[in-house]
Structure 1
Amino acid sequence: MSPRKDVVQSYIDGFRRTDHELILSCLTDDVVWVLHGYKTLAGKDAFDQEIQNDAFVGRPKLTIDRLVEEGDTVVALGSGQAARRDGGTLDFVFSDAFTFSGDKISRLETYQVNLG
């Protein structure tokens, strides 16, 4: 696997473990996270606050089906499941486009479709 795909794998593993430090270590200080249809965040502090959502409990289950790399971008295609605080689960599919500056993620665009 390429070094940038390794960074994306580490980033996803950080979410699987709710490991803020690991996730943030993959990012530039001025990272931008575009959650299409929801909001845009700028900087590590804003990113850090979005890692855990109050509507959910526990750790999400995330599966990466494919990583595609071209130039300074790696795209992760996958699916996930998260336990809702009020009961039940959220099943979803996603596509994350990670743009790199050097060996760190400088921009992330998340496309997520909630199922059911």
Structure 2
Amino acid sequence: MHGSNKSVLLQANEAITAGDNEGFLSHCTDDIRWTTVGEGTLEGKEAVRQWMQSAYATPPRFTVDRLVAEDDTVVALGTIIGEGDDGEPIAVAYSDVWRFRDRKMVELNAFAIQLPR
């Protein structure tokens, strides 16, 4: 899987878990388009950087249950454990649909549902 889009995504997720937002962003194009379905869209790396500073102030933990890749697309299914507004842990089931260009992440359509506590 070395050098594949799947491995790029796994490396990017590891950077987030380690609190290395810049490491994550190094895997993104400057013109990344990040859509969280039902919430909104971030346009460009700087917008994603600003969002991550607050949303990932406490680094989340990812569990990737399945990665499916075809052509320039990788779909990740799993769970994210993060910190809720009240400081308590929350679990979110997610499906991320990533599109790649030249081994960089260029577009995300994220579907996320908070699981009951």
Determine if the TM-score, normalized by the shorter chain, exceeds 0.5.
yes
Q: Tell me the distance in 2 between the aligned counterparts of 1:20 and 1:87.
A: 20
Q: Which residue number corresponds to residue 38 of structure 2?
A: 37
Q: Which residue number corresponds to residue 13 of structure 1?
A: 14
Kindly state the Cα deviation for residue 53 of structure 1 after the two structures are TM-superposed: 2.9
5+ residue gaps, structure 1: none
Give the partner amino acid of 1:27.
Answer: C
Kindly state the Cα deviation for residue 57 of structure 1 after the two structures are TM-superposed: 5.3
Is 1:109 the counterpart of 2:105? The answer is no
SS for the counterpart of 1:86 is coil
Q: What percentage of residue pairs aligned between the two structures are identical?
A: 36
Kindly state the Cα deviation for residue 86 of structure 1 after the two structures are TM-superposed: 2.2
Kindly state the Cα deviation for residue 75 of structure 1 after the two structures are TM-superposed: 0.6
Q: Which residue number corresponds to residue 87 of structure 1?
A: 87
Give the partner amino acid of 1:107.
Answer: E
Report how many aligned residue pairs link the two structures.
115
Superposed CA RMSD in Å reads 1.6
SS for the counterpart of 2:59 is strand
Kindly state the Cα deviation for residue 87 of structure 1 after the two structures are TM-superposed: 3.1
5+ residue gaps, structure 2: none
Could you tell me the TM-score, scaled by structure 2's length? Answer: 0.90
| Structure that is richer in strand per residue | 1
